Amino acid sequence: MAFTLFNLLMKSYERLGQLKTSVATGGGTTTVVDSTQTTARNARFSNDKRDGVIFIPRTTDGLAPEGEYALISAFAPATGTYTFATLTAAVGAGDIYSWAGKLYPLYTMVELANSALQDIGDIPTVDTTTLDTDTGDTEYAVAVDWKRRVVRVWYQTNADSNDNQWSEFHNWEQVTAAPGVAGKLILSNYPASGSKDIKVEYLGPHPELSVCTSVISEGVDPELVVRSLTAKASAWRNRKLQGSDPMAIQFENKFESEYDARKRTHPAPRPEKKSKLFIFGDPSDW
């Protein structure tokens, strides 16, 4: 199962001690009704729930809105009704929901989630659509995103998506360019005749997470991302309090230490660049 922005946020709110879970007794696309939330105690927390986040981790049929979240706009303690931004389907009786208060605002957490992924580092990415071989050409303009570091290069020897028969280039050079300008990939020999795909593996930043279904690269340890986000969220909270709360300082130190420990044992994947072919002497003498 994919690890998405939904999973990352929900696990991080839980790690931060902000998540509470219950069962809906009814609802719609913009509401969750929970008759157990009508007590006086829950009425006192109505302000905390407003501007918080509602999560739907599990529905009775396993269909939408499972895996979705929304910003809470209101909570009515008299009926136990949460009101929030529209989901793609209605919440029904028996669906599991969770909510987190407004201590860590949703959109701040989304931004911190993207920052957490950037902090973990570049990830390996493969591109097979940008470049095609052109008989006689050895220099190709590359995508700007590749400029972090190209790792390996192949060309397609068979134009069949199910049997590409990739052949690796062992001698090539990556030439960079000014910011925002595509660099060049210089090959040491002519590629195969005709127009065939060129496959490039490169290190680049993780794609931005923006919606609940945004998928986090399977090559990145999910626990590492959760720890990175909780560390950043606790640091954000401590800065907001200007270091005035000893518990916030303890949380920041705790989560940062946990993140550092996980990063040492589960770092982001780093493929090694293969050695280039080197031939001694003049090939004409062979």
Residue 138: C-alpha distances to residues 171, 217, 279 (Å)? 11, 32, 20
Domain total of the chain: 3
**Over pLDDT 70: what percentage of the chain?**
92
Distance separating alpha carbons of residues 254 and 256, to the nearest angstrom: 6
Same domain, 182 and 223: no
What element of type H or E holds 238?
helix 222-240
Last residue of a domain, one of 184, 204, 224: 204
Same domain, 217 and 178: no
- Tell me which of 132-146, 151-165, 185-199, 265-279 is least confident: 265-279
Same domain, 214 and 199: no
* Residue 146: inside a domain: yes
- 60-98 pLDDT, tens per residue? 999 999 999 999 999 998 899 999 999 999 999 999 999
- 98-149 pLDDT, tens per residue? 999 999 999 999 999 999 999 999 999 999 999 998 888 899 998 888 888 8
**pLDDT surpassing 80 at residue 215:** yes
Same domain, 114 and 144: no
Distance separating alpha carbons of residues 104 and 101, to the nearest angstrom: 7
- 247-279 pLDDT, tens per residue? 999 999 999 999 999 999 999 877 766 555 544
Domain that holds residue 137: 123-204
Same domain, 45 and 95: yes
Distance separating alpha carbons of residues 68 and 91, to the nearest angstrom: 11
**Strands of the sheet with 149-156, listed across from one edge:** 123-132, 197-204, 149-156, 166-169
Same domain, 114 and 145: no
Instruction: Record the pTM.
Output: 0.87
Q: pLDDT-based confidence at 283, cuts 50/70/90?
A: very low
Same domain, 88 and 226: no
